[in-house]
A and B are shown apart, each in its own frame.
Chain A
Amino acid sequence: MSAIMTKGLKALGLAAIAATLALSAPAFAAGGAKHPHAPKEGFSFEGPFGTFDQGQLQRGYKVFREVCSNCHAATLLSFRNLGQKDGPFYDEKYKNPNDNPIVKQIASEFEVPDIDTETGDTITRPATPSDHFPKKFANSYAAAASNGGAIPPDLSVITKARHGGARYVYSLLTGYVAPPKGLEVKEGQHYNPFMAGSLATQWSGDPHKVPVGGVLAMAPPLKDDLVTYDDGTKATTHQMAADVAAFLEWAGDPHATLRKKTGVGVLIYLLLFAGVTYAAYRKLWHGKH
Chain B
Amino acid sequence: MSDHPSTYEPKTGVEKWLDQRLPIVRLAYDSFVDYPTPRNLNYWWTFGGILSVCLMIQIVTGIILAMHYTPHIDLAFNSVERIMRDVNYGWLIRYVHANGASMFFFAVFIHMFRGLYYGSYKAPREVLWILGCLIFFLMIATAFMGYVLPWGQMSFHGAVVITNLIGSIPVIGGPILTWLQGGFAVDQATLNRFFSLHYLLPFVIAGVVILHIWALHVVGQNNPAGVDIKSKEDTVPFTPYATVKDGLGMIFFLILFSIFVFFLPNALGHADNYIPANPLVTPAHIVPEWYLLPFYAILRAIPDKFGGVIAMFGAIAVLFVLPWLDTSKVRSMRYRPVMRWFFVIFVVVCLGLGWCGAQLPDAPVVPGLPSFTLFDGEFNSYLWLTRALTLYYFAFFLLIMPWVGLKEDPLPVPASISEAILAEHAKKKGA
In the complex, what residue of chain A is closest to B423 when comparing beta carbons?
A2
Q: What residues of A have a CB within 8 angstroms of the CB of B287 in the complex?
A: 27-28
Q: Flag whether B59 is at the interface (Cβ < 8 A).
A: no
A274 in contact with B251 given A262-B92, A285-B245 (CB within 8 Å): yes
Interface contact A27-B359, CB-CB below 8 Å = yes
Q: With the chains together, A229 CA to B92 CA distance in Å?
A: 35
Number of interface residues of B (CB under 8 A): 62
Residues of chain B contacted by A21 (CB below 8 angstroms):
267
A19 touches B354 (CB 8 A): yes
A288 x B236 contact (CB < 8 A)? yes
Tell me the residues in window 271-294 of chain B with beta carbons closer than 8 Å to chain A beta carbons: 271-272, 274-275, 284-285, 287, 290, 293
User: Which of B248, B254, B262, B337 is the one whose CB lies under 8 Å from A1?
Assistant: B337
Cβ of B217 under 8 Å from chain A: no
The residue in chain A whose Cβ has the minimal distance to the Cβ of B340 is A5
CB closest chain-A residue, reference B240: A284
Give residues of chain B (209-264) contacting chain A, Cβ–Cβ below 8 Å: 236, 240-241, 244-245, 247-248, 251-252, 254-256, 258-259, 261-263
Inter-chain CA distance A23–B91, complex, in Å, is 24
Interface: A190 (CB within 8 A): no
Closest residue of A by beta carbon distance from B90: A255
Q: Which of A63-71, A157-165, A176-184 contacts B (4 or more CB under 8 A)?
A: A157-165
Interface of A is mostly: helix
Give chain A residues whose Cβ lies under 8 Å from the Cβ of B84: 253, 255
Cα separation A25 to B340 with both chains bound (whole Å): 31
Which B354-380 residues have a C-beta within 8 angstroms of A? 354-355, 358-359
B262–A266 touching, CB < 8 Å: yes
State whether A263 touches B262 (Cβ < 8 A): yes
For the complex, is A94 an interface residue (Cβ under 8 Å from B)? no
Measured between C-beta atoms, what is the minimum distance from A49 to chain B in Å? 10
Beyond A24-B290, A259-B92, is A12–B347 a contact (Cβ under 8 Å)? yes
- In the complex, number of A-B residue pairs with CB atoms less than 8 Å apart: 133
- A-contact bits for B73-85, CB 8 A (1 contact / 0 none): 0000010011011
Question: A50 to chain B: closest CB distance in Å?
Answer: 10
Interface digits, A129-148 against B, CB 8 Å rule (1 contact, 0 not)?
00000000000000000000
- Chain A: number of interface residues, binned into ranges: 35 or more
Q: Which residues of A contact B247 (CB under 8 A)?
A: 277
A115 at the B interface (CB under 8 A): no
Closest chain B residue to A161, Cβ basis: B274
User: Does A219 sit at the interface, judged by CB under 8 A?
Assistant: no
Q: Is the CB of A24 within 8 A of B268?
A: yes
Q: A25 CA to B95 CA in the complex, in Å?
A: 18
Contact A3/B431 with A28-B287, A281-B244, A289-B421 known, Cβ cut-off 8 Å: yes
Note all chain B residues with C-beta closer than 8 A to A3: 427, 431
Q: Are A8 and B92 also in contact (CB < 8 A) when A76-B81, A263-B258 are? A: no
Chain A nearest CB, measured from B308 CB (Å):
20
Inter-subunit contact B354/A267 (CB<8 Å): no
- Interface status of A270 (Cβ within 8 A of chain B): yes
* Residue B110 CB within 8 A of the other chain: yes
Q: Are A31 and B85 touching (Cβ within 8 A)?
A: no
Nearest opposing residue in chain A for B267, CB measure? A24
| Chain A residues, Cβ within 8 Å of B285 | 28, 30-31
Chain B nearest Cβ from A248, distance in angstroms: 12
**Docked-complex contact B265 and A157, CB < 8 angstroms:** no
Q: Is B178 an interface residue (CB 8 A)?
A: no
CA A27 – CA B267 in complex, angstroms?
11
Kindly identify, within residues 286 to 328 of chain B, every residue whose CB is under 8 Å from any CB belonging to chain A: 287, 290, 293
Per-residue 0/1 for A251-282: is the Cβ within 8 Å of any B Cβ (1 yes, 0 no)? 01111000110111011001101100110110
A209: min CB distance to chain B, Å: 13
Q: What residues on A are CB-neighbors of B82 within 8 Å?
A: 76
Taking CB atoms, residues of chain A closer than 8 Å to B92 are: 259, 262
Cβ–Cβ < 8 Å partners of A56 in chain B: none
Does A15 sit within 8 A of B, measured CB to CB? yes
In the complex, B270 has a CB within 8 A of chain A:
yes
* B284 in contact with A161 (CB, 8 Å): no
Q: Is B52 an interface residue (CB 8 A)?
A: no
- Say whether A81 contacts B244, CB under 8 Å: no
Whether A23 lies near B258 (C-beta < 8 A) is no
B358 touching A284, Cβ below 8 Å = no
> A81: which B residues are within 8 A, CB to CB?
85
Given A13-B110, A76-B81, A81-B85, A162:B251 Cβ within 8 A: no
The one of B85, B117, B270, B411 in contact with A9, judged by C-beta atoms closer than 8 angstroms, is B117
Excluding A156-B81, A284-B244, A288-B39, 5 further A-B contacts by CB distance (< 8 Å) are A1-B411, A23-B358, A27-B358, A260-B262, A263-B258
A-B contact pairs, 5 of them (CB 8 A): A16-B109, A21-B267, A24-B268, A156-B81, A284-B240
Which 3 pairs of residues, A with B, have the shortest CB-CB distance? Answer: A263-B262, A27-B358, A161-B274
